[in-house]
Amino acid sequence: DVKVTQSSRYLVKRTGEKVFLECVQDMDHENMFWYRQDPGLGLRLIYFSYDVKMKEKGDIPEGYSVSREKKERFSLILESASTNQTSMYLCASQWTALNTEAFFGQGTRLTVV
């Protein structure tokens, strides 16, 4: 079975802290995605990556950055956490074969206080 693992299920951080959210997949997927999920807004794409060291901005990249040094790992970085970044963060991975599904991690509920 494909497994996408996010490093934490729940996280509490202080305003101004640098926060790292880690995502690891075990199926050699090329594509990886980071979303935030907020009630009424659905899943909004923050960043995505289609290869090692390659990244593309999604629809809401402000305040975030990403790193993909190895194919299996895609990190989301909040440079200086703010309270409006309190949210559920979901990571997903997918092969580039076009009709394949994306596999998701369990999500990280981040609270910034």
- Which is nearer to another protein, 54 or 113 (by Cβ)? 54
Dist CA 41 CA 100 (whole Å)? 25
Alpha-carbon separation of residue 113 from 9, 18, 62, 86 (angstroms): 17, 13, 19, 8
Question: Quick one: which of 12, 27, 41, 113 contacts another protein (CB under 8 A)?
Answer: 41
Give me the phi and psi of 84, to 5 degrees please. Answer: -75, 0
Q: Decide: is 27 part of the binding site for another protein (CB under 8 A).
A: no
- Which is nearer to another protein, 48 or 74 (by Cβ)? 48
* In the complex, least distance from residue 87 CB atom to another protein, rounded to whole angstroms: 13
